[in-house]
A and B are shown apart, each in its own frame.
Chain A
């Protein structure tokens, strides 16, 4: 089946530094990838939709200058958390759907997430 790989799986950084998270589709090309954030014992909240070759679309309340998304190729999207603070500590998960699907009405395949801890 479709595989989405996310790296790193866990990262600890100091407050004020930036952290980059990579999301790769290993056996398919993904024109669209999605970034979610999940706090402990809570649901997944969509942060932004990443489109290959164009600007990402951010959900309401998500700061685009803080969470930089780059989707430079059909198999790679990156999320950079800039000037991280302790409140940014969370589980970040990316996902992608197989190409050729009608709009978004198709299964999303998720990466294994990145646990970010900001000290």
Chain B
């Protein structure tokens, strides 16, 4: 089945800097890759997603890139702000089994 690896597990940046979180997946048939932001004590919130027919997608300060050949995808946050501090999860959906598999999560800390 699908396996998703996420790095780093923790990331600390200064306000205004960029943050990059990387994920790799194992199932070449996976075709949908969402990213979620989870604040303490709350459920995950979808922040951006990308499908396998697209290489890059951007939404204001957030962008996601996908390399199907290498089977990895990344989240890029520019001009980070303290309110970006949270745990971020990548996920991959594959046709095999039909379920969303999550990475281990990255705890992002943006220092003012």
Q: Hey, which bits of chain A sit against chain B, CB under 8 A?
A: 4, 6, 34, 41-44, 46, 49, 93, 95, 103-113, 115
Contact = CB atoms under 8 A, between A and B. Distances in A.
B31 A6 contact: no
Interface string B25-45: 000000110101000011111
Contacts of B41: 113, 115
A41 B105 CA distance: 8
Contacts of A111: 43
Contacts of B51: 105
A105 B32 contact: yes
Contacts, number: 52
Contact of B104 (A43, A95, A106, A107): A43
Interface string B55-69: 000000000000000
Interface of B: 31-32, 34, 36, 41-46, 49, 51, 89, 93, 95, 98-105
A93 to B, nearest CB: 5
A75 to B, nearest CB: 17
A108 B32 contact: no
Given A44-B89, A105-B32, A110 B99 contact: no
A112 B42 contact: yes
Contacts of B32: 105-106
A110 B43 contact: yes
A109 B49 CA distance: 12
A4 B43 CA distance: 10
Given A44-B89, A46-B100, A110 B49 contact: no
Given A104-B99, A105-B31, A43 B43 contact: no
B37 to A, nearest CB: 11
A97 to B, nearest CB: 9
A64 B36 CA distance: 28
A88 B111 CA distance: 35
Contact of B93 (A43, A105, A113, A115): A105
A108 B89 contact: no
| Top 4 closest pairs, chain A to chain B, by CB | A110-B43, A112-B43, A113-B43, A105-B32
